[in-house]
Amino acid sequence: EAGVAQSPRYKIIEKRQSVAFWCNPISGHATLYWYQQILGQGPKLLIQFQNNGVVDDSQLPKDRFSAERLKGVDSTLKIQPAKLEDSAVYLCASSFRGQGSDEQYFGPGTRLTVT
Amino acid sequence: GNSVTQMEGPVTLSEEAFLTINCTYTATGYPSLFWYVQYPGEGLQLLLKATKADDKGSNKGFEATYRKETTSFHLEKGSVQVSDSAVYFCALSANNAGNMLTFGGGTRLMVKP
């Protein structure tokens, strides 16, 4: 079974530029999550999708971050414009049903450096 | 709101030593509890989980027991190996918050031969 795929693996941009990350979840997984992991901290949820609908985006900085999952499969996360404090690893995860005890499977992450 | 607190690292042990990493949580209702591990250069992967009080999760020699009375989920291993060197994250998933995971800050474990 293929795991969660993410690209790119690394990205370096200057502040005020824009960037986009892509995620392909495990086939058949209805729920997709984007987490932000700042160096030395635990991951923090940005947004959760159930199929192509948003379940929770309460911690997404909506003035600069946006995410979509148009066909209920792949997802993209965009930052525009980027700030220095956005430097982090962006993790995508998926789970089968999105219930409390379900295991979430994580991708390798995209490491973003904003200079 | 929901939160997870775990002991700060790094924790440095010699091979075959006993390991405990403390984790306590705050949540409403009855959360599921997890330990995730991040090996160097790899992504997060589930180590073990427990979904109700007094459940014991176990995997690869690691164990953790869901203690509702002390709101804790401490990770233990009787004899660590060099290959256990990684960052360990305690997390919870509360039914009142969808399935989102709330993570602790992580504990880096270094095992020396």
* Interchain pair A42, B44: CB under 8 A: no
Strand partners, B84: none
* Interchain pair A104, B99: CB under 8 A: yes
Residue A1: per-residue pLDDT: 65
What would the two tokens of residue A25 be?
């979840």
Residues of B in contact with A51 (CB under 8 A): none
Residue B1: per-residue pLDDT: 84
What would the two tokens of residue A3 be?
């795991």
Is residue B97 predicted with pLDDT exceeding 60? no
Q: What is the largest CA-CA distance in chain A?
A: 40
Residue B98: per-residue pLDDT: 64
pLDDT-derived band at B96 (thresholds 50, 70, 90) equals low
Instruction: Quick: pLDDT tens for B51-74.
Output: 999 999 999 999 999 999 999 999
B36, B44, B89, B93, best to mutate vs chain A, most A CBs in 10 Å: B44
Q: What is the mean pLDDT of residues B96-107?
A: 83
State the nearest Cα–Cα gap between B104 and chain A, in angstroms: 6
Residues of A in contact with B106 (CB under 8 A): 40-42
The residue of chain A with its CA nearest to that of B43 is: A108
Mean pLDDT, chain B, whole residue set: 93
* Interchain pair A41, B105: CB under 8 A: yes
Neighbours of A98 (CB within 10 A): 21
3-state helix, strand, coil in chain A (%, to 5): 5, 50, 50
Is residue B106 predicted with pLDDT exceeding 70? yes
Per residue of chain A (115 residues), what is the pLDDT tens digit? 689 999 999 999 999 999 999 999 999 999 999 999 999 899 999 999 998 899 999 999 999 999 999 888 999 999 999 999 999 999 999 999 877 678 899 999 999 999 9
> In this complex, which of B4, B32, B100 lies closest to A33 when CB atoms are compared?
B100
Residues of A in contact with B103 (CB under 8 A): 42-44
Do A3 and A109 contact (CB within 8 A), yes or no?
Answer: no
What would the two tokens of residue B43 be?
């992504």
Residue A70: per-residue pLDDT: 81
DSSP code for B41: T
d(C-alpha A34, C-alpha A43), whole Å:
9
Residue B6: per-residue pLDDT: 95
The residue of chain B with its CA nearest to that of A109 is: B43
